[in-house]
């Protein structure tokens, strides 16, 4: 969820609570004000009637003295003084119920006799007024809530626009391009500090990237040169005719070790280049053609181990990849299936629009299959195995955000590369 949306949700939530609480308080305060005003009117009318009772021995004339209903009664005996305000309901001659505010007053005259005054004021008009005011307040609260939410949304959107523009620029940052994106300038102090930190971070990333890249290239070159010298010198020595059998065997081991180091150097260099995003070019590749071409080259090896191969092409994946990486993916998968296979084994290749499946026989694994993707991890004692083939495959798969599965059931190994995951954004896409 976006920060702006979450902020708006919080704003709506707290505003609703605030406005509802304020509305309820206003309702009861206004209702209390109306009741206080009615009670004051009842008291004024009661005092007028009481004054006439105190100055007369008979019932006073109450015509025109009240806007409500007045009941008066006199008593020959003293009564207990009381003054009570209550709400009550009276029925009209038509049978309708009407709510009244009722003042009940009991008092005594100077001669010791008591009197009773009851005054009723209708609450219907005030209730209608309270309902109308409450309705207006409700619509006012809704209007204020909508206005507050919209104002918060647009103000926040304006304030955060610099952040989103900076974020867009960062998405376009390609480390292999050695070019920093232009960060959006802002007059907000926090965003200025953020841009400064990001700018310094990108400078450091570019510097570290160049240092690692240069070190890898230099190291690979410096290792490759002495290995070439070792190989050439051993070949010269092997061509000499005065070598004993033990000396020849030692030279062969030296040459095999040099060739092995050369292949390890090449494998690590490939992994480093993938990590450094040096394979930015993308083209449409055809895996079926690559598989056929590579198997044709290894026909003698397959016949030597009597390996049976079946191929089933039901479709061609619509994948954009660097041609060299696509070829490496195919070569390493097939080489792994051939090198670690058994005599008279099988290899089943199934290629579809969504996946490449390679199933082959081989020795059972003593470790979880996923550990086979680690560098220099190998299950077979095969002298030609470097333990880098599946590691390179995993790097290529991760680089293009593909999916890969490796399962092993006894002596049957199964690797599946899923191409459907490439719908995710690739490293060089903006």
Tokens describing residue 324 = 């060299």
The CATH number fitting domain 283-423, selected from 3.40.50.11810, 3.40.50.300, 3.30.565.10, 3.50.50.60:
3.30.565.10
Q: Which CATH class is domain 189-275?
A: mainly alpha
pLDDT at res. 414: 92
- Same fold flag, 189-275 and 283-423: no
Rounded average pLDDT over 392-404: 87
The string of pLDDT tens digits covering residues 365-379 is 877 777 777 755 555
| Rounded-to-integer distance, Cα 78 and Cα 178, Å | 106
59's tokens = 């019932």
Q: Which residue has the tokens 């040099």?
A: 258
Distance CA 179, CA 182 (A): 9
Q: What span, in angstroms and rounded, lies between the C-alpha atoms of 68 and 64?
A: 10
Query: Who has greater pLDDT, 252 or 426?
Result: 252
pTM above 0.75, yes or no: no
Q: What pLDDT sits at residue 383?
A: 46
Q: How far is it, in rounded angstroms, from Cα 300 to Cα 338?
A: 12
CA 1, CA 146: separation in Å to the nearest integer?
Answer: 21
What would the mean pLDDT of 343-348 be, rounded to a whole number?
A: 91
Asked if the model's pLDDT at residue 359 lies above 90, the reply is yes
212, 216, 222, 223 alpha-carbon torsion, rounded to 10°: 140
**Among 76, 75, 48, which residue's Cα sits nearest to residue 60?**
48
Candidate from 49-53, 60-64, 312-316, 333-337 with smallest mean pLDDT: 60-64
Domain boundaries, the chain: 3-156, 189-275, 283-423
Asked whether the beta carbons of 357 and 414 are under 8 A apart, the reply is yes
* Range 223-246 average pLDDT: 79
- Name, in order, each residue with C-beta under 8 angstroms of 236's C-beta and a sequence gap of 6 or more: none
- Which of the residue ranges 79-88, 141-150, 208-217, 290-299 would you say has the lowest mean pLDDT? 208-217
Give residue-wise pLDDT tens across range 294-317: 888 888 778 888 889 899 999 888
Residue with the larger pLDDT of the pair 395 and 368: 395
> Lowest-confidence range among 93-107, 218-232, 287-301?
218-232
Question: Is the CB of residue 403 less than 8 Å from the CB of residue 424?
Answer: no
The pLDDT confidence band at residue 361, using thresholds 50, 70 and 90, is: very high
Supply the DSSP string of 186-240, one letter for each residue: -SSHHHHHHHHHHHHHHHHHHHHHHHHHHHHHHHHHHHHHHHHHHHHHHHHHHH-
3-state secondary structure of 130: helix
């Amino acid at each position: 969820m976006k920060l702006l949306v979450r902020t708006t949700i919080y704003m709506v939530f707290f505003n609703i609570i605030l406005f509802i609480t304020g509305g309820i308080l206003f309702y009861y305060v206004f209702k209390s004000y109306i009741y206080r005003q009615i009670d004051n009117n009842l008291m004024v009318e009661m005092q007028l009637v009481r004054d006439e009772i105190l100055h007369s021995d008979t019932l006073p004339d109450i015509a025109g003295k009240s806007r409500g209903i007045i009941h008066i009664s006199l008593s020959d005996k003293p009564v207990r003084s009381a003054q009570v305000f209550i709400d009550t309901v009276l029925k009209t001659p038509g049978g309708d119920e009407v709510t009244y505010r009722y003042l009940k007053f009991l008092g005594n005259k100077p001669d010791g006799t008591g009197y009773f005054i009851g005054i009723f004021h209708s609450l219907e008009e005030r209730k209608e007024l309270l309902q109308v005011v409450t309705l207006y307040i409700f619509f006012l609260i809704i209007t204020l809530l909508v206005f507050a939410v919209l104002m918060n949304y647009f103000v926040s959107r304006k304030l955060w626009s610099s952040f989103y523009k900076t974020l867009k620029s960062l998405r376009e940052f390609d480390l292999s391009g050695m070019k920093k994106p232009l960060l959006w300038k802002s007059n907000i102090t926090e965003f200025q500090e953020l841009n400064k930190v990001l700018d310094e971070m990108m400078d450091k990333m570019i510097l570290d990237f160049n240092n690692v890249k240069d070190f890898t290239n230099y190291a690979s070159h410096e290792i490759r040169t002495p290995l070439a010298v070792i190989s050439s010198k051993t070949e010269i020595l092997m061509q000499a005719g005065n070598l004993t059998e033990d000396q020849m065997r030692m030279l062969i081991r030296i040459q095999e070790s040099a060739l092995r180091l050369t292949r390890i150097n090449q494998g690590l260099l490939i992994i480093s280049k993938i990590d450094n995003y040096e394979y930015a070019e993308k083209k449409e590749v055809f895996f079926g053609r690559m598989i056929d071409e590579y198997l044709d080259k290894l026909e003698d090896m397959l016949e030597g181990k009597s390996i049976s191969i079946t191929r089933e092409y039901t479709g061609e994946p619509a994948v954009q990849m660097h041609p060299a990486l696509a070829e490496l993916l195919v070569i390493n998968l097939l080489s792994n299936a051939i090198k670690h296979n058994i005599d008279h084994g099988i290899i089943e290749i199934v290629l579809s629009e969504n996946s490449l499946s390679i199933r082959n026989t081989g020795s059972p694994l003593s470790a979880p299959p996923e550990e086979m993707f680690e560098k220099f991890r190998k299950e077979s004692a095969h002298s030609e195995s470097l333990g880098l083939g599946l590691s390179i495959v995993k790097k290529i798969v991760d680089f293009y955000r593909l999916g890969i599965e490796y399962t092993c059931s006894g002596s049957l190994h199964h690797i599946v590369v899923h191409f459907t995951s490439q719908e995710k954004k690739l490293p060089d896409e903006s």
